[in-house]
Chains A and B, each alone.
Chain A
Amino acid sequence: MDAIRTSALVKSYERGKVLALDGLDLHVPEGSVFGFLGPNGAGKSTAIKILIGLVEPTAGEAWVAGEPVVHSSARLRSQIGYLSQDPRFYTWMTGRELLVFAGELFGTGRAAARWRADELLEMSGLTRAGGRRIGGYSGGMVQRLGIAQAIVSTPRILFLDEPCASLDPLGRRDVLEFIARLRGKTTVLMSTHILEDVERVCDTVGIIDRGRMVATDEMGEIASKFAPLVLELEFETPEAATTFRTLWSAQLGAASADAEGMRVRIGTADLAQARAAALRLIAAHDLPLSRLGGRSASLEDVFVRLVGGAS
């Protein structure tokens, strides 16, 4: 059963001139940790804001925990937790006060809310900072407090918008471990553009580009489905790599050069055929090749193949 489902979800701004979501179809299985991947501006945050009832869609339908998503529905919000991309809280409150306040908004009694706040402070490593004003917290502490307030009501569905954005490596590891522990108990939709985070904790992944879902599958399946194999070519100069990339893209499909600009990776279903085509192209244009090899595709390869043209 799907914990989150959308059907042809559309959101436009400025009287239709800006299309943030363009018929988004999303299915998130119950109990899964879903990685919502996409380049900046792909529509991830807009989709999440619609799903939590903060923003009204222009067209289409959505369901969360079996409930149709209605703008500003208190019933919907009683079942979800949310951490925004750039969490902002009342800086005059202490961390503990914020968690008690959040708990009480969910209808928890004062005593139970205090007990839960202490539990969450401990869980997020903020016990000592719990009595200090949030205005004095570091970015990482605010992020951890943000995750704590998102799960204050033990939600059925948790929406995390870039949860590791401002964390140091240790904080990131803790948060990812924490998210992984929720698997099976809480459905987690985690938006990010950090592919490594998705590979570490998500069991299902969806890739969004320009407001549309371009791929959804289980983590182990998506690579073989969308970019089963990768042909890697390393040239002697960045210019040669760029020339090859342009020629390949124009003639055969998408390709990407790595950060150094000397390497080109090509996702393909038939490695032998791709290798032959690449060699023909290299020979025809006399490009200086230094290395050529093949390997299994990673999530990054899938991502680059599906949205590389846009980014």
Chain B
Amino acid sequence: MRRRPFFVLFGKELREQARSYRLLTLGLVFVFFGLASPLLAKFTPEILKGVGTDQGVTIVLPEPTAADAVAQFVKNVSQIALFVLVFLTMGSVVAEKERGTAAFVLVKPASRESFLAAKLLTLWLCGTGAFALSAFCAYGYTAVLFPAPNIASFVLGCALLLLHVLTFVTTTFFFSAVARSQVVAGVLSFLVWILLASLGGLGALSEFLPGRLLSASLETALGAPLSWEPLVGCAAIIVLSFSGAVLAFRRWEP
């Protein structure tokens, strides 16, 4: 059966993720934070209490709840797990340009757009899979340690958090297509990440920034109504990043 070049490239990307252990690494990192988040929420107050007693200080902390576990999960995924994902994404295009394998593919009848789309879709799929596994672990363990949160709200909140993750994967992908080295791609991605996070005081505009999705995901996971502004903002960033990557890659000459 003949397959279109996009599907051939997509199949190759999936195999590469699996063979290079990137998929396994990603899965393990996300599962770890999925399991660790409720655990940290549950036992952090007791650990702190123990530290305070050793030093003759009494620390009074409120009894942890499922909301703390969800907050911990959102924090861990949006910081450390996302850092790992960005790290694994930053070389996706630029490494192939550097190694010369992009030129090998691009002299075959596969378009540059298919080359990029297959890569981004694979990154999204792997990120989504790892995230789903993590969210499943986080919910299950939260339900064991605390009264279980409403599952529909939790899933909706996770969807917002996932959108936040995929937005930064896509901006990193853009820099990978534009930059001349993996280091430059990584540095630019983290700078944009920091920049967007520090633009929280821009009034009405800050409602559209990806950072707003973090608080929205937590609020939604705990039952608050969904706010659409950050969804629009993230969708715009994703579309712009991919379009920019395509435009830059069309002009690239090995």
Q: Which A residues fall within an 8 A CB radius of B?
A: 49, 52-56, 72, 74-75, 77-78, 80, 82, 84, 86-90, 92, 101-102, 104-110, 149
Contact = CB atoms under 8 A, between A and B. Distances in A.
Contact of A89 (B101, B106, B109, B253): B101
A49 B111 CA distance: 16
B110 A74 contact: yes
A80 B250 contact: no
Interface string B2-31: 110100110010001001100000000000
A196 to B, nearest CB: 28
A108 B4 CA distance: 10
B103 interface: yes
A105 B105 contact: yes
Nearest to A102: B108
Nearest to B7: A104
Q: How large is the interface on B (under 10, 10 to 19, 20 to 34, 35 or more residues)?
A: 20 to 34
Contact of B253 (A49, A92, A107, A110): A49
B195 interface: no
Contact of B111 (A52, A72, A86, A102): A72
B16 A90 contact: yes
A92 B16 contact: yes
Given A53-B107, A78-B109, A84 B253 contact: no
A55 B100 contact: no
Contacts of A78: 109
B109 A109 contact: no
Contacts of B20: 92
B202 interface: no
A90 to B, nearest CB: 6
A77 B8 contact: no
B1 interface: yes
A86 B100 contact: yes
B107 to A, nearest CB: 5
B108 A110 contact: no
Contacts of A108: 2
A268 to B, nearest CB: 43
